[in-house]
Structure 1
Amino acid sequence: MREPSSLRYNASLTVDLAILTIRGERLNVLLIERGKPPFPGRLALPGGFVLDDEDLDRAAARELWEETGIGEGLHMEQLRTYAAPGRDPRGRVASVAYLAIAPDLPVPVAGTDAAAARWVPVGEEGELAFDHGDILGDAVERARAKLEYSPLATAFCREPFTIADLRSVYEVVWGVRVDPRNFHRKVTGVDDFIVATGERRSLPTGRPAALYRRGRAELLYPPMMRPGRPDEVAS
């Protein structure tokens, strides 16, 4: 075994953000075009190195603000840590990835190390820099899974929202068609998932739709199962 004095401790720490929103009835991810090496010109997730005076959540919030101009009012959670040797050609760099979700986010402005920033439909991003393709895949699967057992779908909606708005989130994120009547019954049957505001929104056709806001539930019971699983909501 090598003595501790012979070991090299030169790892760096970054945060990367998988920022998801729904635009044009498609699940989109915010990507930047890298303006500096490594991988100049390649698309990547926004992120950066953690500063000496920052904890991880603060670093992620700073990067989110710099890339989107949004500092509050959205869902953000730590996804996992990525630290495989060789993931960054600059050296041993570990990255703590975050999943961030908000409704209909604005067109982004490129940060200081990016040539451009834009929303890209998930599945059309091509090969991303570093291991960001793996991070994005994990983030999308996290979002899909949490729609089953948590009120995460409401993070994609501006309040107040209709049940049709909420159903559209499940359809877009899961990539399936959801039966409206079955969905309505299940959503309203989960205690404190959504709460009626008592107001209605006029629609182009049919009766005005009831409006809702997120309730206080942290877990959904019974869960909203994806297609191919027991008690599924999709037709």
Structure 2
Amino acid sequence: MAGKSAPEGYEASSYPPFAVTTDIVIMTIRDGALRVLLVERKKDPYAGSWAIPGGFVEIDEDTHTAALRELAEETGVDAEDFHLEQLATYSAPDRDPRMRVVSVAHLAFAPNLPDATAGSDAASTRWWSVDDLLSDPDAPTLAFDHEEILRDALERVRAKLEYTTLAARFVAEPFTIAELRAVYGAVWGVMPERANFTRKVLATDGFVVPDGATGEASRSGGPRPTLYRRGEATALQPALLRPRSRAEVEPERDALDN
């Protein structure tokens, strides 16, 4: 505990240098795409490379406090305004060329996040498309083991949409089922089949509630879509599981192909 002296015979110098850092994955949906906030590193190691914001935990901090501080210092984003949770711990012996470093990564997935501004340790900041970073061969290679951290964060965010009503926070009220479905498509990387998605959403108590109005008619002259608002539910029971196969996504097209 703090304030206690070291045990008799204990010599800190007998142990190799060891440090703890925190990395903060901040995700949102912008322009219809899932995006992550990255910083361009100003200093070595990996100067000029893109990285997840983060830094060393100071001697009088816990990792959550350090995450809030580092995010504000490097990007100007105040994480006090949204939920920040622990993602995982990364401890491969060679993950940092400076010394033995263990990182406690944190994650936030929230709507309406602000633009970022580069702080003293960052050359610039940018909201990158997650799909581009992980799928485009021309995308930059992330510093350290940050691609692994990003992939883990993506899986956590995708799972959140299966078991919670978080997706409804990313559409402005009132909204259509099609607009809500587009959020799932952006995060999951595949658009859920329309009829099945609509049926599951409307069958889940408290997920959405009718607004009592309708939206604009489509250009094809179809019926005006019903508008909805967010319900009071926070968890989805049963879960709205993401498609696992092409047949679950496009059964109508599969039928045509046959």
Length-normalised TM-score, structure 2: 0.77
Aligned to 2:202: 188
Q: What is the alpha-carbon distance in structure 2 between the residues aligned to residue 216 and residue 83 of structure 1? A: 37
Check 1:177–1:84 CA distance in 2 against 1; reply closer, same or farther (3 A cut): same
Cα distance in 2, alignment partners of residues 168 and 52 from structure 1: 44
> Structure 1 residues 233 and 215 mapped into 2: Cα distance closer, same or farther (>3 Å)?
farther
Match of 2:30 among 23, 28, 48: 23
The answer on 1:52 being equivalent to 2:83 is: no
Paired residue for 1:108?
116
Q: CA deviation at 1:160?
A: 5.4
Residues 227, 234 of structure 1: 8 Å contact kept: no
User: Do 1:103 and 1:158's aligned partners in 2 also have CA atoms closer than 8 Å?
Assistant: no
**Is residue 2:33 matched to residue 1:33?**
no
Aligned counterparts of 1:213 and 1:179: Cα–Cα separation in 2: 21
Report matched runs for 1:119-134 at 5 Å.
119-125=127-133, 126-134=140-148
Aligned residue runs from structure 1 range 216-231, under 5 A: 216-218=233-235, 220-228=236-244
The root-mean-square deviation of aligned C-alpha atoms, in Å, is 2.8
Cα gap change, 1:13 to 1:195, in 2 (>3 Å): farther
Aligned residues: 230
| Gap change, CA 1:16 and 1:195, over 3 Å in 2 | farther
- Tell me the TM-score normalized by structure 1: 0.84
For residues 65-104 of structure 1, what are the structure 2 equivalents within 5 Å? 65-66=72-73, 67-104=75-112
Distance of aligned partners of 1:193 and 1:234 in 2 relative to their CA distance in 1, 3 Å threshold: farther
Once the two structures are superposed, residues 43-95 of structure 1 have per-residue CA deviations (whole angstroms, 9 ceiling, x without a partner) of 00011122233222222223334425333443432110001111111111111
| Distance in 2 (alpha carbons) for counterparts of 1:7 and 1:151 | 51
**1:163 maps to amino acid:** I
Give, as a single letter, the amino acid of the residue that structure 2 aligns with 1:61: L
Could you say what secondary structure the match of 1:120 adopts?
strand
2:225 is the alignment partner of 1:211: no
**Distance (Å, rounded) in 1 between the aligned partners of 2:118 and 2:108:** 18
Asked if the contact 2:190–2:249 (Cα under 8 Å) also holds between the matched residues in 1, the reply is: no
> What percent identity do the matched residue pairs reach?
50
Q: Secondary structure at the match of 1:123?
A: helix
Distance 1:165 1:18 in 2: 25
**Residues 196-226 of structure 1, C-alpha deviations (whole Å, 9 max, x = no match):** 5x465744746364231252333x2111112
Offset, 1:136:
0.3
Letter of the aligned partner of 1:211 in structure 2?
A: Y
3-state DSSP class of the match of 1:18? strand
SS of 2:37's equivalent in the other structure is strand
Question: Structure 1 stretches of 5 or more lacking a match?
Answer: none
Whole-Å separation in 2 of the counterparts to 1:63 and 1:135: 17
Are the equivalent residues in 2 in contact too, given 1:64–1:70 (CA < 8 A)?
yes
Amino acid at match of 1:215: E
Query: Does the 8 Å CA contact 1:147/1:153 hold for their aligned counterparts?
Result: yes
Q: Which runs of 4+ in 1 moved over 6 A?
A: none
Tell me which amino acid in the other structure corresponds to 1:38: P
